[in-house]
Chains A and B, each alone.
Chain A
Amino acid sequence: MDNDSVLNDDSGSLEHQACYIYTPTSEASSLAIPKKRRAAPSPSSSKAKRGKIDPKNCEARGGGGHGFPTLLRDLEDESAVNARYEAFQRLWRDVERRTDDVLAQVNDETLESVSTFVSKAGQDIYGEKLPTGLILTGPNIASHGVLFQQIESRIQSVDKLGRVAILTSKDSSNLKNVLKKIIRCVTEIHDGFDDEDEVVVDVKAGRNPSRYNYDPEIIHDWCSAHPDAKVVVAVQDTEAFDPAVLVELISILHQYLPKIPFILLLGIATSEDIFYEKLPHSTIRLLRGSRFDIQRFEESMEQLFEEAVLSPRSILKLGPRVADIVFERQKDHTRSVTGFVMALKYAYMSHFYANALSVVLGAVGSEEEMNTILSDAHCDAIRNLPSFKPFIEAKIPSFPWRARDLLTSNKALKSAVFTATKECQRYTTNLAEAITLFRKLQRIVSPQQAGEIPTYELYSRILWGEFTTRPAFRDAMLTTKKINAEKFHTLLTAISTLPSELSSTLLESASKLQELQSQKAAKGSTLVSEFALPDSHRTTVKSGRVRLDELKSGMTSQDTEYHKLVASTVQSLETYFKERFKPYTNLFLHEIFFYDLKSPHSQVFGAKPRPSVERALSRPGDYLGCECCGGGVDGEEGGIGGSQPYTAILYQLYLESPALIGIYDLWTAFRMVCMGDRGGDQDEDGNADDDEDEEEKELQAQFYRALAELRFLGFVKYSKKKTDHLVKLAWKGL
C-alpha cells in the first residue's frame, strides 16, 4: 500500500501539468527495469550478450558526437567506441551505395520505355487520340512517389522531351485546381531545360493578364515558345483520383490536343480492369497508348537480397531468425523493397550500437589493426561468447596447449580471432557461391519450384544447416538425375560458368557428355540413363521388372557411361552442397558476423500500440512493476484490484460489460472495487459518515476522470439512444 500511495501522490501533484519528466526513484527503477527486460524475452540473446547490452551499463557519452554508448561495463576504450561507429558508417555506406544502385536499376527499364513512348507519341501514331501510358505500378504505394520523380527527372532533365506535371489525388478536388497545377508545373522555369530562351519563357509564361489562371491557353502559349517540347501529365495514384475530375481532365486534354502535345501517364496500382470499370467508355475511347509494367516485387527483392546480403562485400550478414522476421514481415505486411533496406539498416545500426565486439568487423583483413583495437576487455568478452566453448573444446583433445594459450594469453586469442574472421568470411563467400549455384540448378531443373520459393526464403533454412535434409533439396537432386541428356548438358555448362571449386569437374563432365552425345547421335539415338527410365505402369511387379529389363538391355555402352557420369556428377554436387550448407552456429565468432537478435526488429518495425494499451490497462502490474497491483505477481490473470490505477480498474470493468453500458452501473461496480465492502456496509446502515462521504466524492471525481481517459483512448463514447449510457467501441484483442 505504501507504494500505491506514493504513486497516487505523484499523479495528484502532476495531474494539472501538460507534461512532465518522469524521474523514477532508485527503488522504482531497480524494480521496473528487470520487469521490462522480462516482458520482452528473447531466448536467442545469450547471457554474455545481455550483459553487454544491459541498459544499466549503457552510458551515452557521445565522444565523437555519434551517441554510441560505452559498452563492456564501461571497460571499452573510447577509441573502440569510435571505431565501432566508424566501422558502422563505412560498412553501411558501402551497402547503401550498392542497394541504391540496384534500386536505380530496377526501374531503369520502365523509365527507358516510358521515355521512348513519350518521345515517339505524336499525331502521326495516335491521330486524334490522347496518347496514354498506363504504368502498372503495383500496390506498394510508398514507392510510387519515387518512381514518378524518376520519370519526371528522366523526361524533363535527362532526355529533355518536355515538361512533366505530376498530379496526386490531393490535387483532385476540382478541375480548376488540377489545371492550375499543370500550368504551374509547365510554365515555371526549371533549370536544365531550354535555358537559352529564358527571357521568352518569362514573357510568355502565362502572365498574360487577359487569361484566367486555369486557362490551358497558357500552356499553348508556352508550347508555341517551345515547339518541340511535350507536355506530360502524370497521374500518380489514379485509383484515389476523383473519377469525375479525371474524366473532365481527360476531355479537356483531348480538346486541346491539336494545339498542345499532351501525353497522359496514369499510374495504376491495382489492375487495369478496375481502372476501366471506373471510367465511362466515351472517355476511354479518347485514349490510346501502351502499358508499362514495372518490375515485380519478387524480382527486385531477389536482386537486392543478392547484392545487400549474399554479396561477399557485405561483411555483416543477417542471421536466420532476423531474416525470418524481416522477410515474413515483407511477405505478410509491406511488400516494399525500401522497407527491406530500412530493416537491413536497422540491423546494422543495432549490431554496431549494442555489440562491443562488432569492432572486429571494422578491422577485418588487417591483423595489426585488430590487435591494436582489441583490448583486454574485448578478449574477455570473446571468451564469454557461446561459440568460444565448442571452439576450445574441439581444440582440447588434439592441441591442449593451444587451448590453454587461448584461455590465458590474449595474444594467442587475438591471432585466433583473426584466423576465425578469415574462416567466417570464407564460409559466407562459399555459402553465397553455393546458393547461387543451387538457384541456377533449380531454375533449370524445376523452374516451377524455383519460382515458388525465393532465394531469401531459402537463406534462413540454409543457415540453420537443415536445408539438405529438406524435401525441396532432395527433390532438386532427384530431378537432376532424371532430366534428359540435353537438359543435363545445358545444366552442366550453365553451372560450370559460376565460380566454384566444382567448375573444373563440371566442365570436364560437360565435355565428356558432349562426346558421348555426338557418338550416340551418330547412331541416330539419344542418351538415356537408368535414372531416366520411365516408371513402369504394368500392374504386376514382375511384368514391370521385365519391362525394365527390356529397356536396360536396349542400352548401349555410351548409355552406361552416361549413367555413371550423371551419378557421379549428382553425387559430387550433393556433397558440395552438404559441405557448404553447414549451420552457421558451428563457426567460432558467428555472433559477430551474423546479426541475429529478433526482438529489436519485431518491436521497432511491428509496433503494436493497441495491444500495448490494452495490456497496460488490463494488467497494469506488467508496466508498473509494483507488488500491490496483483497482475505480475499472481501470474496468469491479474484480475481487478483496488490498488490498481483507476483507469485500469474501469477498463477491466468495461471489458466485462455488454455493448451498451449504464454509467451508474459502472460507477457502482467501480465503487465496489475501490472501496470494497465498506461501501456496502454503509449503504445498509444508512448512516453517512462524513469521512466516507468525502472519500466517495473524491472517488467519484476519479471515476469521471478515468472515464474521460477511456473516452480519449477511443474505447467508449456517450450513447445517443439512451441517456447516461456508454457505447462500447473497442473489443479487446482485435
Chain B
Amino acid sequence: MAGPLESLNARFPCRERQIDDLAALLTQDDIPAPPVLVLYGTEATGKSTIAKAVLDEFEVPYAYVSCKECITARHVFEKAYTSCDALVAPSNGEDKGRQTRPDSVNALASQLQKLISGSRKVMLVLDAVDKQREMTPTMLSGLARMGEIINNLTVIMIVTVSSTRLLNISEPPSIHFPAYNKEECVKILSLNPKSIFEVDEEDEYSEEMEQEDRWLWAQCCSAVWDIMGKYAARNLNALKDVVDELWPSLIQPIVDNEYGTRDFPKLFNRLKNEKLRNSEESYVSMQITRDTVDATNDPPAAVPNRSHDLPYFSKYLLCAAYLASFNTARYDTRYFSKLAEVTGKRKRVAKRKNTSRQLNRKHLGPRPFQLERMLAIFQSILPSSVLSSVDIGSQIATLNSLRLIRKVSNVASATDASSKWRVNVGYEYVKVVGRSVKFDLETHLEE
C-alpha cells in the first residue's frame, strides 16, 4: 500500500506541496525541527486540518490549542500548558495541572521547559492564534520564541496573514496555503458527492448510479461557483453550504422522473428560475432560516411585518427621531412651523440646491439631537396634540431598549431634556412605519 504521503495526498487533493513541506520539516527524526513554523492562508484552505492530519499520520506527538475557543490570554496559556502536560506525562497530568496555572508567556515558557526538557520532540499547535481575543503586543512574538528557549519544542502557529511584523522574527519558516481556485474546489467537493436517490439497501447502489451522482454533483458545483463564487461562496466551506442547500431542489425533478440525470442545463435553468431569482439574496447574506425561500411563493401576507405592532405614538416618535437626526436644527421652523408658507419654502429650497454641492443628508448618517427637539417635532407632526405623560416617556424608553433610537450622551438621567439621542434605523424602515400611520416622511425631510 502507499506510504503516508500518498494517503494524505489522496485525502487532501491539491495540497501536495504543503504536505511535503510539513512532512519534511516536522517529521524527520534525524533533523531538528525548526523552533517555530508559521502556516498561513485565508479561511477554509485546509491549514489546521492538514497540519493535524500530517502530524497524526507520522505519529508525531503534538498538543493542539484552538485559540478561538479561548476567552483570555491566560486561558490560552493554561490550555497550552495542560495539553502539553497531558501529552508528556499523561499519568499525573491532572494533579499537576491543578497546581500550576501559567498567567504569562514567561511563566508558560519556564513551566514548559521544566516539563519538556527531558522528553522527545513536542509540537505545540496554536490554531488561529491571531484571532485570539485579548491580544497583547508581545504575546505572539513571545510564543514564537518559546521554541528557541526550549530545545525539543516546536511552536506551529496557524494564522491568516503572515508578516514579519506579526512575530518580530525575521523570516520565520512558513508555509503558504493559497486559496483554492475553481477546479480545485470542484475537485475537493467531488470527493464526497451526495446521491440523487435515497439508497435503501447497500446492493442497490450500483457503479452506474455512483457515476451519475458524481457527474451531476461536479456539474452543480462548478455552476454554483460560476454564479456565486465571486461574492457569496468565496471559500470552500461557503461553496459547500450553498451547494448543499441547492442540491435537494436541483434533483427534485429527477426524483419526480421529469428529467433524466444528464439534463443538467435544463435542471439548472429550472432551479435558477424557481429559487435563485427571488431569493438569491438569502443565499448571499446567508439567512438563518431557510423557510423564507418557500414563503416567497405564498402571498406576502403570510409574513406580517412586525413593525406595525408598535403603538401608534411610538411610530410617530420614531418618525420624529428620524427627522430630528436627519434635518438640521436651523431649518426646523421651515419644515415644522405651522405658520411657514408653502411657496416660500419651495423657493428657498430650490435656491439652496443650486449653490450647494453637499451630499444628501440621508447618506451622511444620523446626527445626534436633543430629546427636547425630538419631542417638539413629535408634537408638530402629530395630527392631534397630546400631552406628554408617563406613557410617552416609557415609549421613548422602549424605543431605546429596542435600539430603534439610542442615547448618545452619558447624561445621568435618561429622559433629561438635553440628553443627546440618535436614530438607529434606516430610512426604509422608518418610511414603512410612517406610512402605517399615514405620515409622509418625505415632505418633512430636508432635501
Q: Which residues of A contact B (CB under 8 A)?
A: 132, 134, 136, 138-141, 169, 175-176, 179, 208-210, 212, 214-216, 237, 239-240, 248, 251-252, 255-256, 269-274, 276-277, 281, 284-285, 287-291, 296-297, 329, 331-335, 605-611, 714, 717, 729-731, 733-734
Contacts and interface: CB of A to CB of B under 8 A. Distances in A.
Contacts of B425: 270, 274
B7 to A, nearest CB: 24
Given A333-B395, A734-B375, A607 B390 contact: yes
Nearest to B74: A212
19 contacts: A139-B309, A209-B98, A212-B72, A214-B72, A214-B75, A240-B402, A251-B68, A270-B402, A271-B305, A271-B307, A284-B286, A291-B289, A296-B304, A332-B386, A335-B309, A606-B390, A607-B390, A611-B387, A729-B417
Contacts of A717: 418
Given A175-B133, A291-B291, A334-B311, A274 B429 contact: yes
Given A270-B402, A608-B387, A212 B78 contact: yes
A138 B309 CA distance: 7
A141 B402 contact: yes
Contact of A333 (B391, B403, B417): B391
A611 B289 contact: no
B201 to A, nearest CB: 21
Given A251-B68, A271-B306, 6 more contacts: A210-B94, A333-B395, A334-B311, A714-B413, A729-B372, A733-B379
Interface residues of B, number: 58
Contact of B402 (A139, A288, A296, A731): A139
B173 to A, nearest CB: 28
Contacts of A208: 98
A252 B72 CA distance: 12
A179 B71 contact: yes
A709 to B, nearest CB: 17
B313 A333 contact: yes
A729 B418 contact: yes
Nearest to A290: B289
A170 B261 CA distance: 56
B197 interface: no
Nearest to A216: B69
Interface in B350-409: 372, 375-376, 379, 386-392, 394-395, 398, 401-404
Nearest to B415: A714
Interface-centre pick from B286, B375, B394 (highest chain A CB count, 10 A): B286
Given A139-B309, A290-B291, A210 B101 contact: yes
Contacts of B390: 606-609
A335 B388 contact: no
Contact of B82 (A210, A272, A296): A210
A139 B306 contact: yes
A441 B85 CA distance: 77
A606 B388 CA distance: 9
A331 B308 CA distance: 11
Contacts of A335: 309-311
A595 B94 CA distance: 73
Main secondary structure of the interface of A (DSSP, over half): mixed
Interface-centre pick from A284, A331, A335, A605 (highest chain B CB count, 10 A): A335
A252 B285 contact: no
A329 B71 contact: no
Nearest to A336: B311
5 nearest interchain CB pairs?
Answer: A333-B391, A608-B389, A239-B403, A332-B312, A210-B98
B416 A240 contact: no
A208 B416 CA distance: 48
Contact of A334 (B69, B72, B287, B391): B391
A572 B224 CA distance: 66
Contacts of A331: 311-312
Contact of B66 (A255, A607, A730): A255
B400 to A, nearest CB: 8
Interface of B: 66, 68-69, 71-72, 74-75, 78, 82, 94, 97-98, 101, 133, 238, 241, 285-291, 304-307, 309-314, 372, 375-376, 379, 386-392, 394-395, 398, 401-404, 413, 416-418, 425-426, 429
Contacts of B98: 208-210
Contacts of B285: 276, 281, 284
Given A252-B71, A256-B69, A270-B307, A239 B288 contact: no
Contacts of A273: 429
A270 B306 CA distance: 6
Nearest to B310: A139
Contact of B401 (A141, A272, A329): A141
B288 A134 contact: yes
Nearest to A256: B69
A329 B391 contact: yes
Nearest to A137: B306
A284 B418 contact: no
Nearest to B406: A240
Contact of B288 (A132, A237, A731): A132
Interface-centre pick from A271, A290, A611 (highest chain B CB count, 10 A): A271
Contacts of A607: 389-390
Interface-centre pick from B311, B387, B425 (highest chain A CB count, 10 A): B311
A478 B82 CA distance: 82
B167 to A, nearest CB: 24
Contacts of B94: 210
A239 B401 contact: yes
A332 B392 CA distance: 10
A289 B289 contact: yes
Contact of B376 (A209, A332, A731): A731
Nearest to B99: A210
A332 to B, nearest CB: 4
A175 B238 CA distance: 27
Contacts of A256: 69
A730 B304 CA distance: 40
Contact of B287 (A214, A276, A296): A276
B392 to A, nearest CB: 8
B71 A734 contact: no
Contacts of B402: 139, 141, 239-240, 269-270
A214 B71 contact: yes
A272 B413 CA distance: 31
Nearest to A273: B429
A285 B310 contact: no
A169 B401 contact: yes
A287 B288 contact: yes
B389 A606 contact: yes
Given A139-B310, A175-B133, A284-B288, A215 B75 contact: yes
Contacts of A179: 71
Contacts of A240: 401-403
B401 A285 contact: no
A332 B311 contact: yes
Interface-centre pick from A208, A210, A296, A606 (highest chain B CB count, 10 A): A210
Nearest to B67: A255
A347 B390 CA distance: 20
Interface-centre pick from B238, B307, B394, B417 (highest chain A CB count, 10 A): B417
Nearest to B313: A332
Contacts of B429: 271, 273-274
A731 B372 contact: yes
Nearest to A266: B288
Given A252-B71, A255-B69, A210 B310 contact: no
A175 B75 CA distance: 13
Given A251-B68, A608-B390, A270 B404 contact: yes
A714 B306 contact: no
A251 B66 CA distance: 12
Contacts of B372: 729-731, 734
Contacts of A215: 71, 75
B336 to A, nearest CB: 13
A275 to B, nearest CB: 9
A130 B391 CA distance: 40
Contacts of B75: 212, 214-215
